[in-house]
Amino acid sequence: MTSPTVDHSTAAGKFTGSRHIHGQEDRRGQFLRRFQGWPRIPPRRSASVHDLLVFHIVFGRAVQDVSLNSPANLGYADVRFVRPVYTGDTLRSETEVLGKRETSRADVGIVWVHTKGFNQRNEVVLQFYRWAMVNKREPQTKTGDNDSPDLPAQVSVENLSIPTELNLSKFDPVVTGSNYFWEDYEVGERIVHPQGITMEDAEHQMATRLYQNTARVHFNHQLQEKSRLGKRIIYGGHVISTIHAISNDGLENALRVLAFNAGSHANPTVAGDTLYAWTEVLDKIALGRADCAALRLRLVGVKNIDPNLEPLTLKVRDEKSGRDQYHPNVVLDLDCTVLMPKRRR
Amino acid sequence: MTSPTVDHSTAAGKFTGSRHIHGQEDRRGQFLRRFQGWPRIPPRRSASVHDLLVFHIVFGRAVQDVSLNSPANLGYADVRFVRPVYTGDTLRSETEVLGKRETSRADVGIVWVHTKGFNQRNEVVLQFYRWAMVNKREPQTKTGDNDSPDLPAQVSVENLSIPTELNLSKFDPVVTGSNYFWEDYEVGERIVHPQGITMEDAEHQMATRLYQNTARVHFNHQLQEKSRLGKRIIYGGHVISTIHAISNDGLENALRVLAFNAGSHANPTVAGDTLYAWTEVLDKIALGRADCAALRLRLVGVKNIDPNLEPLTLKVRDEKSGRDQYHPNVVLDLDCTVLMPKRRR
Amino acid sequence: MTSPTVDHSTAAGKFTGSRHIHGQEDRRGQFLRRFQGWPRIPPRRSASVHDLLVFHIVFGRAVQDVSLNSPANLGYADVRFVRPVYTGDTLRSETEVLGKRETSRADVGIVWVHTKGFNQRNEVVLQFYRWAMVNKREPQTKTGDNDSPDLPAQVSVENLSIPTELNLSKFDPVVTGSNYFWEDYEVGERIVHPQGITMEDAEHQMATRLYQNTARVHFNHQLQEKSRLGKRIIYGGHVISTIHAISNDGLENALRVLAFNAGSHANPTVAGDTLYAWTEVLDKIALGRADCAALRLRLVGVKNIDPNLEPLTLKVRDEKSGRDQYHPNVVLDLDCTVLMPKRRR
């Protein structure tokens, strides 16, 4: 996230000519960027850290206690990105166990926790609920635990935090390369992002080490070979980051993640899978500011089916259980709220 | 590029003894480096950025507009490395479309562009012509476009830029580990570089992301699986960087890239290929300076044939077309000009 | 290595509650970390560089001269980590050839060297003996060389260097997440580390490039394909780093490597191998300080056999030669000395 201070009218004067001007393009097509580059502001001593990197680092701090041997991280709720983090900041996290419940499988239960991430001034930078499958110490013994907490269905508007240092009144779209502002998105609209990205073991392992997330399923092929998947499982957070990166083509001006209202890792991702994404605009949220507002989005990640070529139903009826289940190629269903600059008048 | 300030005569006095002195070695063999390490200058607040990294970043800025869906980047001309870039600098690029031409294939044409990279003071740091294959919107419709530009065959000497802050009068070869100076190279000489490097998908993808080059063919295996190659194509710039790195063993004192006179990506490179390189000295260029001069080199990259073991003809007659074509194992043919310190008297 | 200055009694007051307190856990099990994070000290302008990174960089400087074409690095002795290195320091290394000996194979001999690493103030930061297999120029010619040096069996206590700037009297175990101090380890104790890590070509190549170690066997698949292993060999130092990382789970408070008394790369490691490790406590060494002391450890790395599930004998009798040889799954046998904080009274 940057807060460019270049005046648009001045910058526009520097657009270079092009002998071949492309014709009018459709909304999701390639926007003609005649001027490209990062904002011409002097290098800063400290840059803001990407919201998802903050999420992964705070999350990683909690893996040793909660999910080191966990077969699967299941979901998130009420994830609030409270304060920006800058390079040089030091993060720590605290986790409270909220409840647990046994499952139909004797060997695993589900544990609900609430994690808070703090900077070196003990200010909360991030907080979230999550639940994960955890191995039972004694699979034979019923514990009777059944105190899963009630979690909010979304982060309410008053809990969305806009950094006080952020002023987008002079935001210049040449910085991001997109002319689409908050006003240009409509509730119900669906954006299929064009990019597909194939996952590699070396890449997800290095990303996951960066977050100091040491959960075994991500790193030990010999262990995973014997599992149902037969492969190392990619850390769900790396899937979120990849899907988020894919969604940039179409959401270039989503400058900051404000919240994950809810999120599910619908199916696991492994090396060799190619990920794609689409976004549905769920809501447009005014924030009482002239420079920016929020979009509530449903960001869906799928594997090995290109939604640009082949539409895909998110949930399918399972014949056996009679219940709706995620299509086996869906990997992420993330209800999130992002910040977008408003068009200047 | 560094500008070491250590006096050679002093440093020589610090060479350590070795009980076993290797015998006289041939020109391309292993030079006996009795003293190793980086120059003993105090750490700088800002280091110069490698010329090829500058090239890739400026190039990457132009991918979204020119070659996001391009099946192939074909060549370069008149590539001038105008000014050094330092860490902390901010780069942007501007691209002008110069001309286009249809090809024998109905679905693609060739587009010629001129790209300039600027730093935050709006000084040009790099400029180049390139041409790429681009998909046609309507393959059935003939456009009649045929205005490909005339491009210079080389960067003329007066357009070679030596950084004004560079003074190599006290250059110490212990810094690079090689005793070969500009005087030691001869026109017509051929240097076969000993190293071979095998390419990995995870590595080229991460390098290419660093340059913010998001062209699909580099990242989407599912898309490429259906192509003739069946694999993700490695970004040509990563091939240039790899071949350049291989060429360091034999050209250790080529401290700066001044120009690419011309360059062709003769054949694509994919993960699993092992790259090798040789260099032919095309010309020796005096620059009117006592401390340094330039070499014009033909840097050739090949795949899966070690030119140290098996010589290879660059171009072969194609029976069908009757034209000379690159040997299918050649991946890069780069005519470039580099800066080299002169031997001190 | 950090030297935290947070007072434990104060930090303890910030431990957060947890509704579900885990039961008493066994010594090697998961220690309940209620508070996690990096020390809350202000960001420093210069952080200390990990001891093993220093080792790899100093080692890498010596590869060009000693082992560029070496088929195998065999062992180390008397490796002393003399001084901490900080970001911004500049390292160089000097190597003296000590002796050489022919082997039963006509084409290779063994060369013994002593390498010293220096910082920009010409202070020794690291010094070590190593020996490596090196190709002979003329396999047919017997040289008669047989002057391998006598090497010390261990680094003596007076040669262990504790950084003068290190004061662990206020070390807070929340920083590392482990409550085990020097007093808690016993001679003869064996710690089997739980983690297993699968190696990737892209990962070891990138690590090895970082160290500027360009030995061919690590990078050229086409060359290695024809070898006995059929694969690129992973740089032994990367194996040491990986095994060292695995050993962190059980040795969290081993804050600094003081010495490698001796080390052997028992068998090669290649991509696809999964590494595991165990540690035997060989000795407890008082250093005459109230805040810390040393442990002498035997750190063993194995491949593709999880020692948590299946015990493994380090050496096995070879029927043919009648000599004890390393089990073919052992990759590293490292006798090292580490620094540990003492429990405060």
pLDDT in tens, B129-181: 999 888 888 888 888 888 889 999 999 999 999 988 889 998 988 888 889 99
Tokens of C269: 């490691």
> Quick one: fold of C45-136?
Thiol Ester Dehydrase; Chain A (3.10.129)
pTM for the model:
0.85
Q: Is A329 on the interface with B (CB under 8 A)?
A: no
Q: Is A209 on the interface with B (CB under 8 A)?
A: no
H or E element at residue C240: helix C236-246
Check if the beta carbon of residue C214 is closer than 8 Å to that of residue C63. yes
Residue with the bigger pLDDT between B7 and B59: it is B59
Question: Are A222 and C35 an interchain contact pair (Cβ–Cβ within 8 Å)?
Answer: no
- List CB contacts (< 8 A) between A36 and chain B: 61-62, 64-65, 92-95
Interatomic CA distance for residues C117 and B44, integer angstroms: 21
- List CB contacts (< 8 A) between B95 and chain A: 16, 18, 36
Q: What does the buried/exposed string (b/e) look like for A277-286 if buried means 16 or more CB atoms within 10 Å of the residue's CB?
A: bbbbbbeebe
Question: Are C196 and A216 an interchain contact pair (Cβ–Cβ within 8 Å)?
Answer: yes
Residue B46: pLDDT band (50, 70, 90) is low
pLDDT for residue B61: 84
pLDDT for residue C174: 80
Interatomic CA distance for residues A158 and B105, integer angstroms: 58
HSE toward the beta carbon, residue C142, CA cutoff 13 A:
4
Q: Is B210 on the interface with A (CB under 8 A)?
A: no
- Placement of tokens 């490691």 in the chain: C269
Tokens of C175: 């920083």
Q: Which CATH architecture has domain B45-136+152-341?
A: Roll (3.10)
- Placement of tokens 């696809």 in the chain: C272
What are the angstrom distances between the C-alpha of C218 and each of C7, C204, C330? 46, 8, 19
Tokens of C181: 């101090």
Of C64, C91, C206, the CB nearest to B33: C64
DSSP 8-state class, residue B149: P
Interval B230-279: pLDDT, tens: 999 999 999 999 999 999 999 999 999 999 999 999 999 999 999 999 99
Q: Which amino acid is at A344?
A: R
Residue A152 has pLDDT above 80, yes or no: yes
- List CB contacts (< 8 A) between A17 and chain B: 96
B-facing residues of C in 42-71 (CB < 8 A) are: 61-62, 64-65, 68
Residue with the bigger pLDDT between C106 and A45: it is C106
pLDDT for residue B140: 87
Check if the beta carbon of residue C254 is closer than 8 Å to that of residue C340. yes
**In degrees, to the nearest 5, what angle opens at C-alpha C126 toward C-alphas C121 and C128?**
140
Neighbouring CB atoms inside 10 A of B288's CB total 7
Residue B68: pLDDT band (50, 70, 90) is low
A-facing residues of B in 276-295 (CB < 8 A) are: none
Interatomic CA distance for residues B115 and B34, integer angstroms: 44
- Placement of tokens 């500058």 in the chain: B54
Residue A127 has pLDDT above 90, yes or no: yes
> Quick one: fold of C166-345?
Thiol Ester Dehydrase; Chain A (3.10.129)
Interval C262-304: pLDDT, tens: 999 999 999 999 999 999 999 999 999 999 999 999 999 999 9
Alpha carbon of B239: minimum distance to chain A alpha carbons (Å): 20
Residue of A58, A136, A221, A234 best to disrupt the C interface, most CBs of C under 10 A: A221
Chains touching B (3+ CB pairs < 8 Å): A, C
Alpha carbon of C97: minimum distance to chain A alpha carbons (Å): 37
| Strand-strand pairing, A315-317 and A324-326 | antiparallel
Check if the beta carbon of residue C340 is closer than 8 Å to that of residue C292. yes
- List CB contacts (< 8 A) between C54 and chain B: none
Alpha carbon of A262: minimum distance to chain B alpha carbons (Å): 28
pLDDT for residue A33: 29
Tokens of B241: 């960087």
pLDDT for residue B67: 62
Tokens of C302: 């194995």
- List CB contacts (< 8 A) between C272 and chain A: 221
Average pLDDT over residues A105-114: 91
Write the CB contacts of A91 (distance below 8 Å, at least 6 apart in sequence): A54, A57, A58, A61, A85, A117, A118, A119, A125, C37, C38
Alpha carbon of A101: minimum distance to chain C alpha carbons (Å): 13
pLDDT, mean of each 10-residue run, chain C (345 residues): 25 25 28 31 60 94 71 87 92 92 89 94 96 88 89 93 90 86 97 97 96 91 93 96 96 96 95 98 96 97 96 89 92 97 88
Interatomic CA distance for residues A300 and A329, integer angstroms: 11
Question: Are B19 and C92 an interchain contact pair (Cβ–Cβ within 8 Å)?
Answer: no
pLDDT for residue B203: 97
Alpha carbon of B96: minimum distance to chain A alpha carbons (Å): 5
C-facing residues of A in 240-259 (CB < 8 A) are: none
Chain A: residue whose CA lies nearest to C201? A202
- Placement of tokens 């994950």 in the chain: A260
Interatomic CA distance for residues A4 and C51, integer angstroms: 41
Mean residue pLDDT of chain A comes to 84
Check if the beta carbon of residue B213 is closer than 8 Å to that of residue B59. yes
- Tell me the backbone φ, ψ of residue C299, rounded to 5 degrees: -100, 120
Residue B29 has pLDDT above 60, yes or no: no
Query: Is residue B304 left, alpha or beta, with left meaning phi > 0 and alpha meaning psi from -120 to 50?
Result: left
- List CB contacts (< 8 A) between C94 and chain B: 16, 34-36
Check if the beta carbon of residue B134 is closer than 8 Å to that of residue B66. yes
Interatomic CA distance for residues B298 and B333, integer angstroms: 7
Q: Name the nearest CA neighbour of C35 among A53, A115, A79.
A: A115
| Strand-strand pairing, C274-285 and C197-198 | antiparallel
- List CB contacts (< 8 A) between B118 and chain A: 37
Chain B: residue whose CA lies nearest to A305? B222
Interval A175-231: pLDDT, tens: 888 899 999 999 999 999 999 999 999 999 999 999 988 888 999 999 999 998 999
pLDDT for residue C29: 29
Interatomic CA distance for residues A244 and A56, integer angstroms: 13
Interatomic CA distance for residues A342 and A170, integer angstroms: 10
Question: Are A195 and B201 an interchain contact pair (Cβ–Cβ within 8 Å)?
Answer: no
The yes-or-no answer to whether C45-136 and C166-345 have a common fold is yes
Bridge partners, B275 (sequence order): B197, B303
- Placement of tokens 């060494």 in the chain: C285
Chains touching C (3+ CB pairs < 8 Å): A, B
Residue with the bigger pLDDT between B32 and C110: it is C110
Q: At what angle do helices C201-210 and C51-61 cross, to 10 degrees?
A: 80
pLDDT for residue C137: 87
Interatomic CA distance for residues C175 and C165, integer angstroms: 19
Q: Is A202 on the interface with B (CB under 8 A)?
A: yes
- List CB contacts (< 8 A) between C203 and chain A: 202, 205-206
- Placement of tokens 């082992």 in the chain: C67
Residue B35: pLDDT band (50, 70, 90) is very low
SS3 assignment for chain A: CCCCCCCHHHHHCCCCCCCCCCCCCCCCCCCCCCCEECCCCCCCCCCECCHHHHHHHHHHHCHHHHCCCCCEEEEEEEEEECCCCECCCCCEEEEEEEEEEECCCCCEEEEEEEEEEECCCCCEEEEEEEEEEEECCCCCCCCCCECCCCCCCCCCHHHCCCCCCCCCCCCCCCCCCCCCCHHHCCCCCEEECCCCEECCHHHHHHHHHHCCCCCHHHCCHHHHHCCCCCCCECCHHHHHHHHHHHCCCCCCCCCEEEEEEEEECCCCCECCCEEEEEEEEEEEECCCCCCEEEEEEEEEEEECCCCCCCCCCCEEECCCCCCEEECCCEEEEEEEEEEEECCCC
Question: Are C40 and A92 an interchain contact pair (Cβ–Cβ within 8 Å)?
Answer: yes
Chain B: residue whose CA lies nearest to C86? B43
Mean residue pLDDT of chain B comes to 84
Check if the beta carbon of residue C289 is closer than 8 Å to that of residue C162. yes
H or E element at residue C305: none
HSE toward the beta carbon, residue B39, CA cutoff 13 A:
18
**CATH fit for domain A165-345, picks 3.10.129.10, 3.90.15.10, 3.30.450.20, 3.40.50.11890:** 3.10.129.10
The percent of residues above 90 in pLDDT, for chain B, comes to: 62
Interatomic CA distance for residues A255 and A291, integer angstroms: 12
Question: Are B36 and C61 an interchain contact pair (Cβ–Cβ within 8 Å)?
Answer: yes
- List CB contacts (< 8 A) between B20 and chain C: 97, 100
Chains touching A (3+ CB pairs < 8 Å): B, C
Residue A318 has pLDDT above 90, yes or no: no
Q: Is C270 on the interface with B (CB under 8 A)?
A: no
Chain B: residue whose CA lies nearest to C92? B37
Alpha carbon of A175: minimum distance to chain B alpha carbons (Å): 10
Q: Is C13 on the interface with A (CB under 8 A)?
A: no
Domain map of chain A by residue range?
Answer: 45-136, 165-345
Sign of the torsion formed by the C-alpha atoms of A156, A162, A167 and A172: negative
Chain B: residue whose CA lies nearest to A21? B97
Interatomic CA distance for residues A315 and B232, integer angstroms: 31
- List CB contacts (< 8 A) between A249 and chain B: 214
C-facing residues of B in 162-201 (CB < 8 A) are: 177, 194-198, 200-201
Q: At what angle do helices C201-210 and B201-210 cross, to 10 degrees?
A: 60
- List CB contacts (< 8 A) between C90 and chain B: 37-41, 43
Residue B191 has pLDDT above 80, yes or no: yes
**A–B interface: beta-carbon pairs under 8 A:** 89
Length of chain B in residues, anyone?
345
Helix segments in chain B, DSSP class H: 8-12, 51-61, 63-66, 201-210, 221-225, 236-246
Interatomic CA distance for residues C315 and B52, integer angstroms: 50
- Placement of tokens 């431990």 in the chain: C15
Alpha carbon of B177: minimum distance to chain C alpha carbons (Å): 9
- Placement of tokens 């070898």 in the chain: C227
Burial class (CB in 10 A: 0-12, 13-18, 19+), C3: middle
Q: Name the nearest CA neighbour of A101 among A57, A166, A146, A149.
A: A146
Of A16, A33, A43, the CB nearest to B88: A43
Interval B307-316: pLDDT, tens: 999 989 999 8
Q: What does the buried/exposed string (b/e) look like for C39-62 if buried means 16 or more CB atoms within 10 Å of the residue's CB?
A: bbeeeeeeebbebbebbbbbbbbb
